[in-house]
Amino acid sequence: MKLRILGCSGGIGSGAHTTAMLLDDDILIDAGTGVTNLSMDEMIKIDHVFVTHAHLDHVACIPFLVDTVGFMRNKPIVVHATQATLDTLREHLFNWHLWPDFTKIPNCSSPYMRYETFSVGSVINLNERKIIPIPANHVVPTVGFQLDSGQGSLVFTADTTTNYAFWSIINKIENLRFLIIESAFCNQKRDIAGRSKHLCPSLLEEELKNLERDAEIFISHLKPGEADITMHEIQQSIAKFNPRRLENGQLFEF
């Protein structure tokens, strides 16, 4: 399996794109503004979008993706998410007010997009690739994902704060190789991080005490205006884990 980072920022700006990752050439993990880094030919190949949660920085490009390439494809793009997230997308995004309902375009029997529900702990098998939703702790229903090739696993926490249930699962993954975990705020904003259910370096330090597996650790969701100070605080507090900043264009093979 190959995972290419299209966007991993907590905001936008020159060179900054919100969360989107391309798994092989046919699966998106979230669909934030990073999707705009794809060419038309690359977008046409996307058959599945796995959504961690319904916040705009993770779903903003689903409407544009479907609108742009839906008519060029011979089957619908499948949007996979929990029931709670799909309900939000139906009610607040693909509702004919904010955006057309592409599960009914061009018609209900042959739409450009369809929904598929999953739950935490379910295993979705796509051509010998396993995608497993895992618990996250955020202000709206959210999941992370374990991506398992059989040879190795990459785990993406999505947006989350302190979460014991997450670690009890992660520590059982024998082939864990990579962990992508967020830190949306610097330590000065620990209060905001707590209220918005994100991590900051001091909270991240406490969380990583629960990690019992060896894994390469990468930090996502950094705010563009304070990414450097946040990474400096992380590297000082958890240097033993050798944490690195997740970068647009980065490629993971596992």
Give the bridge partners for 41, in sequence order. Answer: none
Under CATH, what is the fold of the domain 119-246? Answer: Metallo-beta-lactamase; Chain A (3.60.15)
Question: What pLDDT, on a 0 to 100 scale, did the predictor assign at position 72?
Answer: 98
C-alpha closest to that of 157 among 221, 112, 109: 221
Q: What is the mean pLDDT of residues 66-74?
A: 98
What pTM did the predictor assign? 0.97
Decide if 1-81+83-117 and 119-246 have a common fold: yes
- Which pLDDT score is estimated for 69? 98
Taking alpha carbons only, the member of 186, 194, 193 closest to residue 237 is 186
The 10s digit of each residue's pLDDT in 113-165 is: 999 999 999 999 999 999 999 999 999 999 999 999 999 999 999 999 999 99
What is the predicted pLDDT for the residue at 230?
Answer: 98
Residue closest to 208 by CA, chosen among 242, 231, 232, 184 = 242
Share of the chain above pLDDT 90, in %: 100
Alpha-carbon distance of 109 to 49, in angstroms, equals: 20
Mean of pLDDT values over 82-90:
98
Pick 1-81+83-117's CATH classification: 3.40.190.10, 3.60.15.10, 3.40.50.300, 3.40.50.720: 3.60.15.10
Confidence of residue 62 (pLDDT cuts 50, 70, 90): very high
- Domain residue ranges of the chain, discontinuous segments joined by +: 1-81+83-117, 119-246
CA 71 to chain centre: 26
pLDDT of residue 96: 98
In the chain, pLDDT over 70 holds for what percent of residues? 100
Q: List the alpha helices (DSSP H) in the chain.
A: 40-44, 56-59, 62-69, 83-92, 164-170, 190-196, 201-208, 227-237
Average pLDDT estimate for 198-224: 98
pLDDT of residue 2: 98
Q: Where are the alpha helices (DSSP H) in 148-237?
A: 164-170, 190-196, 201-208, 227-237
pLDDT band at 32 (very low <50, low <70, confident <90, very high): very high
Question: What pLDDT band is residue 252 in, cutting at 50, 70 and 90?
Answer: very high
Give residue 131's pLDDT: 98
